[in-house]
Structures are given as C-alpha cells and as structure tokens.
Structure 1
Amino acid sequence: MFDDFLARAAIAGIGLTLATGPLGAFVVWRRMAYFGDATAHAAILGVALSFAFGTSVYLGTLGVALAMALTVARLSGRGHAMDTMLGVLAHSALAFGLLAASFQTGLRVDLSAWLFGDILAVSRTDLAIVWGGAAVVLALLAWRWQGLLTSTINDELAMASGINPKREQLVLTVALALTVAVSIKIVGALLIAALLIVPAASARQFARSPEVMAIGATGVGGASVLLGLWASLQFDTPAGPSIVSAATVIFVMSLGLRRR
C-alpha cells in the first residue's frame, strides 16, 4: 500500500536523524568529515562480504565499518599524514568493495541501492534495526557527553579533568560505525557522510551551545528527510539523493539568514 511504504520511509529517516544529528555535531566539531567518508565507503566492502558468506548485511557492514574506524583511529595517533591516509583508506575500501561486488551477480545488479540507498523499500524489520541502532548511539553519546565535549575542546584539558581522550575517541568510533551500518539501506554508503555533516553545519549557524546544536542538527535532518521524500514523490527522483539535496538547500538558506 502506497501510504504504508511512504510512512515507513519517513519513520526510518527520522529515526536515523536521531543518531546522525548529535553524532554529526561531533563530526563537525572535530573535523572528522573524511573519517566519516572512510567508514562509510568501507560499508560497501561489508555488504559484498555479507552476500558472499550469507550473513546479515547489517552485521557484515557493522564489522567492516568498525574495523575501518578503529584502523583510522589507531593511525591518527601515530603521526601519519591524516588527510592522505584517510584518502587512501576511503578510496581503497570503496574500490575493493566494488570489486568484490562485481563477482556476485545479484549484488552487482542491485549495487546502486547500497551506494545511494533505497529508503522507500525499508521493511518493518529494517525500522526496528534503525531505531534500535539510533537508540544505542544516543545512549552512548548521552553517557559520555561531557567527556566527549571536554576532549573535543582540548586533549590536555580532558586529561587534567581525569578524562581519557582515547576512550572518548573510541566511543565516537563505535557510534559512527553503528550509524553507518544501520543507514546503509536508507541513504547508502555515498550519502551517509553528507547526512552527518550538512544538517550539523546548518545548525551551527545559529547554535548558542553544544546541546542546542545537536538538537538543531536532528531537527534539520528530520526536515530534510520529509522534504526529500516529498520532492522524490513530486518529481520522481531518487529518495536518498533527494534527502541530501534538501539538506543542502536548508544549509544554503541558513547561510543567507546568518548573514542577515
């Protein structure tokens, strides 16, 4: 039924923004945009391996995304040129994932759905996974909120306050990998980083505190989902790119309002 699948798409998208809103705020504050790209691109390799071994796509994606995020986090503390290293890891993971997918006929045919998402095809099981994953991410961020904020401001300040910056980095790493895993079917591997960054960047224009920015990013993300689904319905465009495009339009508008 038409209304049923559209309602599921809206509920799934809004559930996802509950995680991407506050997590995206930390991605913007810590300048982790490329970190998110590397983790998201690795998700395609996770999808390919899941099909190859007949396991759950969500579990396979989570495992590979978590491995990539932990690898990047380890390398960041060893003096490597991070922009170059992240570029190598991000594009290599995507290339190996596409190569692995090319050997599997069923996955090769449906690869665009994993790259750009297929939010209109989410099932009730997918809804439960998305909302459950979002709840875990929110619980992690709420549990370590003050520690994450302090370590984001300054590592030395965090250590002086008895906070381990590496532990806070690990919390963000796990939260990011989990968000990528549950969002792969909704907006796809190539667009999840945009959904993390663009709403948070819009909310940053007007936020007076970290909490307001996190809530604002969630609100902008939810509005982007609804506007994107409406645009997809009206103009027969892909839903995932439409959602990110709606978020971009809101960002541009926020820049104009900020100048005024």
Structure 2
Amino acid sequence: MFDDFLTRAALAGVGLSLATGPLGSFVVWRRMAYFGDATAHAAILGVAMALATDLPVGFGIMVVSLAMAVTVATLAAKGWAMDTTLGVLAHSALAFGLVAVSFVPGVRTDLSAWLFGDILAVSRGDLAFVWGGAVVVLALLAWRWQALLTATLNEDLAHASGLNPDRERLVLTIALAIVVAVAIKVVGALLIAAMLIVPAAAARGLSRTPEVMAGLAILIGAVSALGGLQLSLWQDTPAGPSVIVVAALIFTATTALGRRLTG
C-alpha cells in the first residue's frame, strides 16, 4: 500500500494532468510554448512577492503569473515580435524573482523546490489547491471549447461567427495563470511548460479530433506523473524532472508509432 505522501503525490500528478492536457493542446495548436514558459518563469517573482508581504504563496504566484500572461497577450495583440519579447520578459522575471527573494528579511528558503518542484512534499492543502485549480481550468475550457477551437483555427472565421478572438485569448491566459499557480509545487517553474507541451505533443500524432487529443494528453500526463514517481522511487532521482523524463519517453514512442501508422 502506498504511504500517505506517495498517495498525495500521485493524486497531485493526476489532478495536474486534468488541467495541462486540454490546455497544453491549445498551447501546441497555437504555438504558445514560449508564452507558457514566460508565464511560468514569472511565478518565481510571485513567490518573492508573497514571502515579502506574508501572503499565501499560491496567491502571489497567481497574481504575478496572470499579470505576465495579460502583458504578453496584450503585446501579441499589438503585433510585437514575440520571440525576443518573450525571451526578455521570461528571463528578466525569473532573475528579478531570484534576486528579490534575497532581499526579503528573515527569509531563508531553498528555491530549488520552486524551480524544479517537490511533488513528494505535497500536503493535503496543496492537493486541494491542485484539484481545485484543475476543476476551474476544465470548467473554463469546457465552457469556451467550441469558441476557442474556432478562434484557434481561423481568427477571420471567429469574427464571422460573432466571436472575439481577443476574448478567447484572454480565457487561455487566465487558464494558463491558474495552471502555473497549481503546478509549481508539483513540477516547478522551469518544468511547467514541459508538462503542458510534451503530453499534448505526444498525443497529437495519435489523434484525429481535438477532443481525442485533449483526452489522450490527460492520459499521457497522468501516466507520466505516476511513472515519474515510480522512477524516482527506483533510482532515487528528482521526482519533478523524472515526470518530464517519462513524458519525453512517451513522446518518442508515440511519435515513432504515429509515423509507422501513417507510413
């Protein structure tokens, strides 16, 4: 029988996958990988802000991640060259966060847990936060699913259908900020983008419809989380990175399988 901490870790990984699967599919479809990376990097600045003001860390991460996501979405809507802009914003936010923590009086914290995650240290409160955030993201995406698909497929078609692509982009922005806030304890700021992208990319070659891809991405994410925990126990490897290693191996296998099926 699993120990309590392993049970919580497994449930946290599965709960996170419920959110990252469908959201990661949109990240892949819209080629928003760097967008997710920038939002995740900003989470460390949110940690620093929360520690400095005695606010809950999750709240600080949510505020800063949402601010970063809205900033990036606004710049994208104005036609900025996003590759350079996102690079500057992502690494600057990470650097400011790391430096800011050192100025918080009386705080001595190991930031490696926030950078790479510590899924084995998930508490019952963290577990409730992860599942609560996952349910909110799923509800948000389910509510706007068809509109998001239309806006992703073609913005002109979205306008013709009476939809506002900027509003749909904002929905994804909010969902992304929530996922960053709930995922940072599980896989860390540096690996959140991987948890969004790798399972969705692995599912793409095996899917014929958007709904199937989102469902497979959830399944692959959950298998990656459980497999990563097992790998961590067997080989005494870091749990968060181990989850991504398993996801990458699944991506390699599904990519090879997908090519064989289409070949």
How would you bin the TM-score normalised by the shorter chain? over 0.9
Aligned equivalent of 2:68? 68
Normalising by structure 2, we get a TM-score of 0.97
Paired residues of 1:203 and 1:217 also in contact (CA < 8 A): yes
Normalising by structure 1, we get a TM-score of 0.98
Q: In structure 2, what is the Cα distance between the partners aligned to 1:133 and 1:77?
A: 27
Aligned equivalent of 2:114? 114
Change (3 A) 1:117 1:106: farther
Q: Which amino acid aligns with 2:254?
A: S
Q: In structure 2, what is the Cα distance between the partners aligned to 1:79 and 1:16?
A: 32
1:1-260 pair list within 5 angstroms: 3-104=3-104, 109-260=109-260
Paired residues of 1:58 and 1:181 also in contact (CA < 8 A): yes
Q: In structure 2, what is the Cα distance between the partners aligned to 1:32 and 1:106?
A: 38
Paired residues of 2:77 and 2:166 also in contact (CA < 8 A): no
Q: In structure 2, what is the Cα distance between the partners aligned to 1:107 and 1:141?
A: 38
Q: Equivalent residue of 1:206, what SS? A: coil
Q: In structure 1, what is the Cα distance between the partners aligned to 2:189 and 2:207?
A: 28
Q: Which amino acid aligns with 1:63?
A: V
Shift of 1:106: 6.9
Q: In structure 2, what is the Cα distance between the partners aligned to 1:31 and 1:110?
A: 33
Per-residue displacement from partner, 1:26-58 (whole Å, max 9, x unpaired)?
000000000000000000000011011110000
Structure 1 gap ranges (5+): none
Paired residues of 1:48 and 1:107 also in contact (CA < 8 A): no
Shift of 1:110: 1.2
Shift of 1:257: 1.1
Shift of 1:259: 2.2
Q: Which amino acid aligns with 2:185?
A: K
Per-residue displacement from partner, 1:64-119 (whole Å, max 9, x unpaired)?
00000000000001121111111110111111011112224775541000000000
Q: In structure 2, what is the Cα distance between the partners aligned to 1:147 and 1:30?
A: 14
Q: In structure 1, what is the Cα distance between the partners aligned to 2:96 and 2:219?
A: 35
Q: In structure 1, what is the Cα distance between the partners aligned to 2:2 and 2:223?
A: 21
Shift of 1:2: 6.5
Per-residue displacement from partner, 1:180-228 (whole Å, max 9, x unpaired)?
0011111100000000000000000110000000000000000000100
Change (3 A) 1:222 1:105: farther
Paired residues of 1:50 and 1:56 also in contact (CA < 8 A): yes
Q: In structure 2, what is the Cα distance between the partners aligned to 1:107 and 1:212?
A: 46
Q: How many residues align?
A: 260
Moved runs in structure 1, 4+ residues, more than 4 A?
105-108
Q: Equivalent residue of 2:6, what SS? A: helix
